[in-house]
Structure 1
């Protein structure tokens, strides 16, 4: 995680103090530049960033790609903005194809039913 934190901090145009301030505002709990420095240092094994703070860092730096890298290791992915609608559309289209195939299969094995005066 230190590498992810370091990349997010290094690539942002804001200072670490500004990023810490944005995280503090988002989390409603204090986050300092010194904390960010510790989280970004691989040598500081006792200072691992919590998941909540990592998410806050991703949110304030808008580095969703870094979170995506982590999630893909476990078979998941991050969708941002319109990607959500595109994924939903693809999912709905796949479901529709499946339902259409089921309808065709039922139609093929269905025979008309006649009762009483229908014959």
Structure 2
């Protein structure tokens, strides 16, 4: 067996395809009511973004045009703070402020939907068209078989 060149990646073991659908997966989605899962998702986005909460709060404030404090962010990220449920308008602000688009995927997962970057939309449409054409071809074969059987 030939020696493997260490500078050449092995397509079967050295490659991990990128995640296409956005979301946190089971890291935050399991257990608890929706408010708890939202708090965990916001907390995870804040942790993963690499910014301190004061910076995120300032970015959110600028986006919303109203003040958002770091303590409000802490409340949004806390499952124990039942009185600080985030509105949809405010839910969009940390996505912009943190760059953590996984929050959109988290929201889509609540409805059994996948959120994918728009650059993949054409690929998805082509796959749907191919599926439809295969269904039409199968139906055509069925009708042709019925015609032959009727003769």
Does TM-score exceed 0.5, indicating one fold? yes
Give yes or no for the alignment of 1:69 onto 2:106.
yes
Question: Which ranges of structure 1 fall in alignment gaps of 5 or more residues?
Answer: 110-119
Moved over 6 A (4+): 102-109
Q: Which moves more between the two structures, 50-59 or 86-95?
A: 86-95
The structure having more radius of gyration, on CA atoms, is 1
Structure with greater helix share of residues: 1
CA root-mean-square deviation: 2.7
The total of aligned residue pairs comes to 110
Query: Quick check: 1:64–1:78 contact (8 Å CA) kept in 2?
Result: no
Task: Report the CA distance between 1:75 and its aligned residue.
Answer: 1.4
Between the two structures, name the one with larger relative contact order (CA 8 Å, sep ≥ 6): 2
SS at match of 2:104: helix
Report the CA distance shift for 1:49/1:107 in structure 2 as closer, same or farther (over 3 A): same
The two structures have a TM-score, normalised by structure 1, of 0.69
Question: Which ranges of structure 2 fall in alignment gaps of 5 or more residues?
Answer: 1-37
Task: Report the CA distance between 1:98 and its aligned residue.
Answer: 4.4
Task: Report the CA distance between 1:59 and its aligned residue.
Answer: 3.1
